[in-house]
């Protein structure tokens, strides 16, 4: 049997589909597994013996992707976009499984109820129900080689013990205020490594101080994974760093602002803090503040995050 997993969303979303891969590998050991995602999956999912099919959603690729996946017997799609539903329908894969809240849901042969109150890992695993799967692996998993770890230690002169701070997101309303992050760095008793992408370098300068190593925009994805794997803990906004950390066995703390753990993206290993506001939660991917005062961005206190972090550190 040839089974395809389709998740063309962000880094964190892909990490949270790794239990699907692991479960399919165990339940269908003779199956061939394929994974469709953005080009970063070649680095993120390195170590998985599966076919990685990149799809960055260009019009040209939309025509070719259908041909590339035609031979699969079943596809499981956590992604809910109309494009995903249409591409999979056109591929003529006989068994197409998606969520009932997907756009164009009638293009799937099987629709599974989407439940917000579940963790995303459990929601994703529910998609295997039409295939008769009951025995599930719920732990996320990524792979980093020892030589990769040693390489980043040398390249970035990393200390023996440190925590990783990931302050930034693709959605600005998910970001805890820089003022709060700065307060946290002043409380830390361990060195901190700050990570992020190149377009966040200017903001990251506000966090520079003694004991803080600013690597924002300076790492590849594999280097980021290695840095996280060596850390004692990760503190992050509601973003991929949390899920990467957990998939590497590192505890993480999510600091929520406009989003909420009730949407099911909280750490599997570690903890979280969320604002106690009448307007919370706002939405899974908020674009603007409904109140206009953005109070949620600084509602969680740095002292509380530091206290939670101390509970995780050995």
Smallest CA-to-CA distance from 3 within 22, 13, 140 is with 22
Residue ending a domain, among 131, 156, 181, is: 131
Reported as a single tens digit per residue, the pLDDT across 239-277 is 999 999 999 999 999 999 999 999 999 999 999 999 988
What's the number of domains the chain is made of? Answer: 2
| Residue keyed to tokens 């590497």 | 248
- Identify the pLDDT of residue 94: 98
DSSP string, 247-308: HTT--EEEE-SSS-GGGS-S-SSEEEE----TT----SS--S-SSSS-GGGG-S-HHHHHHH
Domain that holds residue 90: 2-131
14 shares its domain with 125: yes
Is there a single domain that holds both residue 122 and residue 165?
no
Confidence class for position 236, pLDDT limits 50, 70, 90: very high
Residues 120 and 177 grouped into a single domain: no
Coil, helix or strand for 147?
helix
pLDDT digits (tens, 9 = 90+) for 281-294: 877 777 787 787 78
- When mean pLDDT is compared across 106-115, 118-127, 293-302, the lowest value belongs to 293-302
Same domain, 254 and 182: yes
DSSP state of 196: -
Predicted TM-score (pTM) of the model is 0.95
Instruction: Return the CATH number at 197.
Output: 3.40.50.2000
SS3 194: strand
Note whether 160 and 291 are same-domain residues: yes
- State pLDDT tens for residues 180-202: 999 999 999 999 999 999 999 99
């Amino acid at each position: 049997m040839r089974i395809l997993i389709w998740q063309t969303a962000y880094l964190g979303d892909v990490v949270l589909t790794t239990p699907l891969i692991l479960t399919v590998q165990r339940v269908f050991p003779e199956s061939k597994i394929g994974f469709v995602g953005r080009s970063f999956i070649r680095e993120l999912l390195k170590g998985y013996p599966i076919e990685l099919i990149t799809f960055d959603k260009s019009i040209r690729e939309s025509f070719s992707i259908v041909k590339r996946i035609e031979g699969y017997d079943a596809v499981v799609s956590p992604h809910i976009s109309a494009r995903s539903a249409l591409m999979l329908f056109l591929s003529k894969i006989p068994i197409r499984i998606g969520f009932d809240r997907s756009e164009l849901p009638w293009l799937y042969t099987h629709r599974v109820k989407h439940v917000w109150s579940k963790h995303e890992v459990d929601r994703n695993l529910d998609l295997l129900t039409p295939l008769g799967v009951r025995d599930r692996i719920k732990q996320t998993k990524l792979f980093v080689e020892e030589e990769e770890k040693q390489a980043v230690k040398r390249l970035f002169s990393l200390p023996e013990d440190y925590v990783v701070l990931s302050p930034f997101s693709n959605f600005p309303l998910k970001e805890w205020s820089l003022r709060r992050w700065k307060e946290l760095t002043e409380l830390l008793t361990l060195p901190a490594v700050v990570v992020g992408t190149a377009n966040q370098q200017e903001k990251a300068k506000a966090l520079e101080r003694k004991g803080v190593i600013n690597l924002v925009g300076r790492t590849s994805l594999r280097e980021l994974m290695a840095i996280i794997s060596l850390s004692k803990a990760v503190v992050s906004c509601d973003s991929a760093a949390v899920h990467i950390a957990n998939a590497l066995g590192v505890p993480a703390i999510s600091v929520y602002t406009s989003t909420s753990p009730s949407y099911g993206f909280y750490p599997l290993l570690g903890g979280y803090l969320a604002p106690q506001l009448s307007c919370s939660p706002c939405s899974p991917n908020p674009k603007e503040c409904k109140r206009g005062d953005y109070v949620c961005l600084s509602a969680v206190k740095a002292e509380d995050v530091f206290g939670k972090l101390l509970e995780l550190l050995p």
